[in-house]
Amino acid sequence: RQKLLHINTVQDAVNLLRDAKKVIVLSGAGISTSCGIPDFRSASGLYAQLQAEGKYDLDEPQDMFDIRVFRERPEIFYSFAKQIYPSNFTPSPCHRWIRSLEDRGILLRNYTQNIDTLESSAGVKRVLQCHGSFSTASCLRCKTRVPGKTIEPYIMSQQIPFCGTCRQARDVEIAARQERKEAKKRGKGKGKVKATEWDDDSDSSEISEWGAESRPDIVFFGQALDSEFDELLFLDRDEVDLLVIIGTSLKVAPVAEVLTHIPHSVPQIFINLTPVNHVKPDICLIGDADSIVTYLSHQLGWDLPPPTAVLH
């Protein structure tokens, strides 16, 4: 990175943006805090809130998004999910700034870790929601995928949404089991009705506990990211000429590792309220991200798309 050591001022950031043709924006929760959505790791963030509330019977606040915990006790996530469900939020100047890069034809991709879909609300098309979103939900067991709206009423009423497909299969099994019991009673022997994956000795509570919860398609700890992440990054790394990182602590792999996957010759601008120590971006602009991108736009003579132009 030797040849980049001389760039580190705001004016350098302005110049880099002016010259850039293929920008990757890597964004995190810090671009949505001004919309009223807490980030995760700040003192007032979601994890601190969960810790302080202490009402969820979790060893660590991060366990709220751990797939093993979810499999064992989905009710914990569903008693909480309402709090992070994206509704009625308006994109921030940062989201609009990313849109303005796209409008200027210089956004190669926005890799966002956020699940609030506010990039899409701001009209950004070239966005990859690396950690998924609430826009669809899938059954953990049969993988049936449904629109997120299907489970929205359950999230809002803090109930576990069960998968329709699995529920149907369960009802068929219960009926079949009943029939087998009756056939047995009638002395006609067992096995007339083919046994399925439950054995007849398990009681019905076991059936109702059959793991058939639908879950929003957000990536939990312990789950792999969609393969699209690797596929797009593999292509984008050869094209990118500027990396802008906004509002993330860069603590969670593999998204945080994007920095190491793109060529070292690509300059990096890091915009965040707090500095990070474990990586050394070329330019660090420390402060409120909305103010910083607004300042940069002003210096560049770029207009942000007005909030009124933002469509949901």
Catalytic residues: 131
Stretch (H or E) spanning 207: helix 204-208
Smallest gap, in angstroms, from Cβ of residue 262 to ligand OAD? 18
Q: What is the C-alpha to C-alpha distance for residues 29 and 27, in angstroms, rounded to an integer? A: 7
Yes or no: say if 26 and 260 are a contact pair by the CB < 8 Å rule.
no
Judged by beta carbon, residue 38 or residue 164, the one nearer ligand OAD is: 38
Mode of pairing for the β-strands spanning 214-218 and 242-246: unpaired
Q: What is the C-alpha to C-alpha distance for residues 271 and 274, in angstroms, rounded to an integer? A: 9
Q: Is 35 annotated as a binding residue?
A: no
Q: Is 142 annotated as a binding residue?
A: yes
Of residues 245, 272, 255, the one with CA closest to residue 221: 255
Smallest gap, in angstroms, from Cβ of residue 104 to ligand OAD? 22
Q: Residue 282 — left, alpha, or beta (φ > 0 → left; ψ -120 to 50 → alpha)?
A: alpha
Judged by beta carbon, residue 37 or residue 166, the one nearer ligand OAD is: 37
Smallest gap, in angstroms, from Cβ of residue 98 to ligand OAD? 14
Smallest gap, in angstroms, from Cβ of residue 300 to ligand OAD? 19
Judged by beta carbon, residue 43 or residue 311, the one nearer ligand OAD is: 43
Binding site for ligand OAD (CB under 6 A): 28-30, 33-34, 39-42, 45, 65, 113, 131, 219, 221, 247-249, 251-252, 272-274, 288-289
Smallest gap, in angstroms, from Cβ of residue 193 to ligand OAD? 44
SS3 per residue for 275-303: CCCCCCCCEEEECCHHHHHHHHHHHHCCC
Q: What is the C-alpha to C-alpha distance for residues 51 and 36, in angstroms, rounded to an integer? A: 19
Judged by beta carbon, residue 213 or residue 217, the one nearer ligand OAD is: 217
In angstroms, the Cα distances linking 264 to 18, 267, 268, 280 are 20, 8, 9, 12
Judged by beta carbon, residue 161 or residue 247, the one nearer ligand OAD is: 247
Q: What is the C-alpha to C-alpha distance for residues 210 and 170, in angstroms, rounded to an integer? A: 8
Eight-class DSSP state of 213: B
Contacts of 38 (CB under 8 A, 6+ apart): 29, 44, 45, 46, 49
Number of other residues whose CB lies within 10 A of the CB of residue 100: 21
Q: Binding site for Zn(2+): which residues?
A: 139, 142, 163, 166
Q: Binding site: which residues?
A: 139, 142, 163, 166
